[in-house]
Each structure stands twice: as structure tokens, then as C-alpha cells.
């Protein structure tokens, strides 16, 4: 059917007068040329502003979509389970320059990791002296428990036969190591940014502590080209100008400690190898953490003047995380690059309340359970066995509704430490009575713990989510980087599947 076009005059009258916006924009009747120019300028300005707003909205939407596409990976687990060490491995793989920039800032941590165990050795020597073999004393867990030590001091030293040659030598070593022991508190204060430091227990530091340790780092931060933890996450991070000032003032401290350490390196070596100390270790009256043993074993190298921590030193260095630190990396696979946000949390009980805000948009979790900890108790609650605590925590994570869609990975970590403990004859059944008469061997012990974690997962798995389990030693660079690659691939598989559905 052919319809005749409407006369233009009719269409324009009918449409314009019916549309209130067109009516508003209509030039006023009797507009002069000058007024017309001004009106056009106003309209052009209004359009420019409107276009800018549209552009900003489009950019915001793009950012939002991109944020949704980012991978958010939470590292969870109790204190000392290895979360920050795993984070360092991610950093080594995906942002090696930032680890390079931080390298020198690990020096005071290494020094602190030496001064503290040296003090600890003297405390245990004081408590037990050159005791005769005594099976009752074997039952006392000396791990950071000063009350036990005070009690033992009464029952051993007071009953001893006076000073032996060994005791005299230990007294000399204590005198010679006095300056190192005195430096411990200053190092702790330096690392914690002036926070009160514990006389026993671990030293907590917030994300961004490296900035307090290195002038160069503070300058980089000022230039805004520093990669690594996002300082804005931490309310207590010092302001930039303060970073520089503190770094300038305190560099002298690190140099002084380096000199002290260099001067007393042989004394530390002698103390560490002293027969009394060796016997206390064999009898497990003296139990030092793995990082303390690592640095004491390497004391000659670490106390050389001009010492720069190696990557292995950085992986072994221990400093306890406070709050949550976010690390951002670009991860690429098959030509596609995705931003990963890695959240490294503080695992001590007093820190766990800070985790929850990161749960609702978590894409993946790596839960770290140190299987070597079967003979240890929580520092924050000395009645709770650390394997028990890990199982309880894993139950909470598996059953948490906010995390039910997150990809779940379990690291049964510190397998190297477990092997060493079993090789020394430490009996699992003594600490975990349900272990019963099973063989005190690596495969059997790991199998037993693994079965418990798997059971927790099965009981709390409404979603039929897969649990990926790895036996790990996260200070081992090659093995850990292989596992990180596996995890990256499996997270990407899920990611690409989800992206295809969008
Ligand atoms: N030998 C060995 N040492 C490990 C392993 N995993 C971690 N460590 C060491 O254990 C110590 C504690 O590890 P961190 O990574 O600081 O523990 P964390 O889980 O971050 O602890 P918090 O920050 O307190 O929650 C560090 O000195 C590490 O070098 C491991 O598999 N084997
Ligand atoms: Mg940590």
C-alpha cells in the first residue's frame, strides 16, 4: 500500500508541540543574533559536560566489569602456616622486581631472627643447666613457656654441683653476646614501627613495613612507582614523609647491628654447637623454630659484612603478619592477562576477625595447614594443639556460606619439617593419641592428617566443590612454583568457563 507523505508543516507542528523537550530547546521567539550566539555557546558547554559524564559512566562500568573479572585469591590458615612465604613465591614469579626492591629491607628481619633465638638459648640453658637425664623433664614443653622454665630452674640449677667448665664458657659467651641481646629490642621496635613489642611471643608487623626499613624504598614510594602490598589497605601505615625520616634516622641501627653480628659470629657459632646446647636440643628441652635453626646454621655467611639476603634467606625470614595485606599481580595465560589480588592475612587468633570483609568476592582460597605442627600448641592458646586448630579453622572455612563458590585448595605444608621431626624419632601418638599404633613414618602420618582434612571437607560440601590438595614445602622454590603454575591453570579454567557464560 502506498501512503501519501504528510505535508512537512503538519508533521513539524504536530511533533514539536507534542514533545516537551523540543519545546524547551526551541529558540525563543524574537531572539537577536547576539542572544543566539550566547545560547549556542551555553548549549555547547552543556553538551560537553553531558558527554564527559557519559564517558565517565562508561569508564566506571568498564572498571567495574574489569574488577569483577579480576581473580581474588585468599591465603588462609593459622599463624606460622606459611601464607606470607607462599605470597613471596607468587611475588617471585609474577613481580620479581618488587622483591628485588625489598631485598635489603629483609636484613633487619634476618638479624632479629638471630638475636631472638640466641636469647631463647640462654633462657633454656639457665632453666635446665647441665642436668642429668631425667625423663620427667622430657614431658615439659619448653616452647616459649617461661612459667615452666621458672619452675625447672628451681629444680635443676639449685641442685647442681656448682659451676663447671662448660657453664663458665657459657657465661663468657653470654657476656660477649650482650650487645646482640641488647639490640633485639631496638630491632623489634624498628620493624614494628614503634609499636609496643612483646617480650615473648612473635613480633607483629603491618603490611608496608618494608618502607620503614629502607630509605630507597621510601623514595620509590614517594615517586609512586612502588609495586607490592597496597598500603591503603592498612590504616596504620606511616605517612610518606615519615617513612623517609625514619629510614634516614634508623639506618644507623641496622649498620650497628651488622657490626655487632660480624664481631660475634664465632661466639654464636660456638654457642649453637656447644655440647650443652646440643644436648638440650636432642632432649627437646630446647626447641627452636625452623627459621631460627636455618639462620643459626648459616651464621657465618649471614654475619659477613656487606651481607645481602639471598632469596632463600627471604623465604626463611619470619615476621608475623598483622591484618590483611593485598598484593596485586598481572597473570597471563594463553595470551590473556588477568589481574590477581592476593590477600595475605594474619593467622593468629586475634587477627582472624579481619578476614571476613574479603570473603564475599573471593574467587579462590588456598588453605595452609602445617602438618609438622602435631607436637606444637598455639602461642595464643597453649592448650590447643596446632593440628586441632587447623582442622577447626578448615571446618569454618569449608562451611562458610560466603565462600561456598570459591575454588578451594589445601596445602599440607612444612612436609620437610615433618620429615625431619619423624627422622629424629618424635612420636606422633604422644601428641595425637588417636594416631594409635600406626607407623611413625612420613606416608602414614601425612595420609592420616590428609584423611582428616578430606573428611572435614566432605562433611561441609553442599556444593559438591572439588578440593585440590598438595603436599608442600613452600620454602622450596622449584617445587612451589610448579604447584603455583598448576593452581593458576585450574583457576584459569574456571575463570574462562565463567567468562564464557557471561
Ligand atoms: N622449612 C619450612 N619452613 C617453612 C615452610 N613454610 C613456611 N616456613 C617458615 O615458617 C615461618 C612462618 O611462615 P610465614 O609464611 O611467616 O607464616 P604465616 O602463615 O604468614 O604466619 P602469620 O603471618 O603469623 O599468619 C617462616 O619463617 C617460613 O620461612 C615450609 O614448608 N618449610
Ligand atoms: Mg604472614
Kindly give the confidence (pLDDT) of every residue in the chain, 502 residues in length, as a single tens digit, with 9 standing for 90 and above.
Answer: 444 444 444 344 344 456 666 666 677 788 889 988 998 999 999 999 999 999 998 888 776 666 678 899 999 999 999 999 999 999 999 999 999 999 999 999 999 999 999 999 999 999 986 554 444 443 334 344 333 443 344 333 333 454 588 888 999 999 999 999 999 999 998 888 776 655 555 666 666 666 555 443 444 343 333 334 443 333 233 333 344 444 444 478 999 999 999 999 999 999 999 999 999 999 989 999 999 999 999 999 999 999 999 999 999 999 999 999 999 999 988 788 899 999 999 999 999 999 999 999 899 999 999 999 999 999 889 999 999 999 999 999 999 999 999 999 999 999 999 999 999 999 999 999 999 999 999 999 999 999 999 999 999 998 899 999 999 999 999 999 999 999 999 988 877 676 655 4
Tell me: do 110 and 78 sit in the same domain.
Answer: no
Tell me: do 93 and 142 sit in the same domain.
Answer: no
**Domain count across the chain:** 2
User: What is the Cα gyration radius of the chain?
Assistant: 31
* Confidence (pLDDT) at 17: 52
Q: What is the CATH number of the domain that holds 390?
A: 3.40.50.300
Q: Which residues of 417-456 are buried (b: 16+ CB within 10 A; e: fewer)?
A: bbbebbeeebebeebbeebeeeebebeebbebbbebbeeb
Domain endpoint, select from 252, 286, 316: 316
* Confidence (pLDDT) at 238: 32
Please report whether residue 194 resides in a domain: yes
Of 88, 209, 418, 475, the one to substitute when testing ligand 1's pocket (max ligand atoms within 8 A of C-beta) is 475
Q: Give Cα 116 to chain centroid, integer Å.
A: 21
Q: Which residues of 47-65 are buried (b: 16+ CB within 10 A; e: fewer)?
A: eeeeeeeeeeeeeeeeeee
Question: Which residue ranges make up the annotated binding site?
Answer: 315-321, 413-416
Tell me: do 120 and 99 sit in the same domain.
Answer: no
Please report whether residue 216 resides in a domain: yes
Domain endpoint, select from 298, 316, 334: 316
Phi, psi torsion values for 338, nearest 5 degrees: -125, 140
Please report whether residue 146 resides in a domain: yes
* Confidence (pLDDT) at 493: 84
**Which ligand minimizes its atom distance to the CA of 348?**
1
Please give, one letter per residue, the 3-state secondary structure of 117-183: HHHHHHHHHHHHCCCCCCHHHHCCCCCCCHHHHHHHHHHHCCCCCCCCHHHHHHHHHHHHCHHHHHH
Tell me: do 254 and 386 sit in the same domain.
Answer: no
- Closest to 214 in 3D by CA, of 181, 247, 166, 246: 247
Please check whether residue 102 is in contact with residue 315, taking contact to mean a CB–CB distance below 8 angstroms.
Answer: no
Residues with CB under 6 A from ligand 1: 77, 79-85, 290-291, 315-316, 318, 320-321, 346-348, 413-414, 416-417, 473-475
* Confidence (pLDDT) at 335: 83
Question: Which residue ranges make up the annotated binding site for Mg(2+)?
Answer: 321
DSSP per residue, 411-478: EEE-HHHHHHHHHTT--HHHH-GGGTTS--SHHHHHHHHHHHHHHHHHHT-TT---EEEEE--TT-HH
Tell me: do 213 and 260 sit in the same domain.
Answer: yes
For residue 191, the enclosing domain spans 104-316
Please check whether residue 129 is in contact with residue 154, taking contact to mean a CB–CB distance below 8 angstroms.
Answer: no
Tell me: do 260 and 121 sit in the same domain.
Answer: yes
* Confidence (pLDDT) at 499: 61
Tell me: do 82 and 127 sit in the same domain.
Answer: no
- Nearest-CA residue for ligand 1 atom 29 is 316
Tell me: do 115 and 197 sit in the same domain.
Answer: yes
- Nearest-CA residue for ligand 1 atom 30 is 414
Cα–Cα distance between 478 and 456 in angstroms, integer? 30
Please report whether residue 403 resides in a domain: yes
- Closest to 268 in 3D by CA, of 316, 302, 291: 302
| 464 CA distance to ligand 2 middle (Å) | 30
Q: What is the dihedral of CA 138, 143, 146, 151, to 10 degrees?
A: -10
* Confidence (pLDDT) at 259: 96
* Distance between start and end Cα atoms, the chain: 44
Please report whether residue 366 resides in a domain: yes
| 207 CA distance to ligand 2 middle (Å) | 10
This complex has an ipTM of 1.00
DSSP designation for 248: H
Amino acid at each position: 500500500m502506498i501512503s501519501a507523505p504528510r505535508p512537512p508543516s503538519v508533521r513539524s507542528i504536530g511533533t514539536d508541540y507534542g514533545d516537551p523537550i523540543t519545546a524547551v530547546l526551541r529558540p525563543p521567539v524574537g531572539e537577536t543574533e547576539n542572544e543566539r550566539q550566547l545560547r549556542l555557546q551555553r548549549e555547547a558547554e552543556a553538551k560537553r559536560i553531558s558527554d564527559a559524564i557519559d564517558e565517565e559512566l562508561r569508564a566506571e562500568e568498564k572498571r567495574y566489569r574489569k574488577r569483577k573479572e579480576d581473580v581474588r585469591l585468599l591465603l588462609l590458615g593459622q599463624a606460622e602456616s606459611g601464607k606470607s612465604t607462599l605470597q613471596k613465591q607468587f611475588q617471585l614469579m609474577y613481580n620479581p622486581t618488587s622483591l628485588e626492591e625489598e631485598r635489603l629491607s629483609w636484613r633487619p628481619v634476618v638479624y632479629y631472627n638471630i638475636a631472638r633465638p640466641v636469647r631463647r638459648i640462654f633462657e633454656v640453658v639457665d632453666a635446665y643447666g647441665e642436668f642429668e637425664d631425667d625423663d620427667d623433664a622430657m614431658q615439659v614443653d619448653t616452647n616459649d613457656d617461661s612459667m615452666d622454665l621458672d619452675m625447672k630452674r628451681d629444680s635443676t640449677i639449685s641442685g647442681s654441683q656448682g659451676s663447671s667448665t662448660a657453664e663458665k664458657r657459657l657465661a663468657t659467651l653470654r657476656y660477649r653476646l650482650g650487645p646482640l641481646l641488647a639490640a633485639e629490642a631496638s630491632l623489634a621496635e624498628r620493624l614494628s614501627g614503634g609499636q609496643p613489642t612483646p617480650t615473648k611471643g612473635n613480633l607483629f608487623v603491618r603490611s608496608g613495613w618494608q618502607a620503614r626499613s629502607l630509605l630507597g624504598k621510601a623514595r620509590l614510594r614517594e615517586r609512586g612507582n612502588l609495586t607490592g602490598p597496597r598500603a591503603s589497605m592498612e590504616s596504620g601505615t606511616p605517612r610518606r614523609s615519615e617513612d623517609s625520616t625514619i629510614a634516614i634516622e634508623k639506618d644507623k641501627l641496622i649498620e650497628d647491628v651488622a657490626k655487632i653480628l660480624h664481631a660475634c659470629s664465632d661466639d654464636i657459632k660456638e654457642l649453637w654447637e656447644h655440647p650443652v646446647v646440643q644436648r638440650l636440643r636432642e632432649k627437646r628441652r630446647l626447641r627452636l623454630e625452623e627459621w631460627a635453626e636455618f639462620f643459626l646454621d648459616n651464621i657465618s655467611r649471614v654475619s659477613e659484612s656487606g651481607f645481602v639476603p639471598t632469596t632463600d634467606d627471604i623465604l626463611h625470614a619470619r615476621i608475623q603478619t598483622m591484618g590483611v595485606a593485598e598484593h596485586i599481580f598481572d597473570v597471563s595465560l594463553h595470551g590473556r592477562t588477568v589481574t590477581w589480588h592476593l590477600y595475605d592475612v594474619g593467622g593468629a587468633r586475634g587477627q582472624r576477625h579481619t578476614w571476613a570483609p574479603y570473603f564475599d568476592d573471593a574467587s579462590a582460597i588456598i588453605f595452609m595447614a602445617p602438618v609438622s605442627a602435631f607436637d606444637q600448641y598455639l602461642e595464643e592458646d597453649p592448650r590447643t594443639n596446632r593440628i586441632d586448630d587447623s582442622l577447626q579453622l578448615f571446618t569454618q572455612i569449608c562451611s562458610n556460606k560466603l565462600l561456598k563458590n570459591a575454588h578451594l585448595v589445601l596445602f599440607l605444608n612444612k612436609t620437610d619439617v615433618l620429615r625431619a621431626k619423624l627422622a629424629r624419632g618424635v612420636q606422633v601418638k604422644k601428641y595425637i593419641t588417636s594416631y594409635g599404633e600406626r607407623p611413625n613414618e612420613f606416608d602414614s602420618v601425612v595420609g592420616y592428617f590428609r584423611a582428616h582434612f578430606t573428611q572435614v571437607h566432605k562433611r561441609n560440601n553442599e556444593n559438591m566443590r572439588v578440593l585440590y590438595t598438595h603436599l608442600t614445602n613452600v620454602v622450596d622454590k622449584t617445587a612451589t612454583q610448579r604447584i603455583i603454575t598448576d593452581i593458576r591453570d585450574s583457576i584459569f579454567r574456571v575463570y574462562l568457563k565463567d567468562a564464557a557464560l557471561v
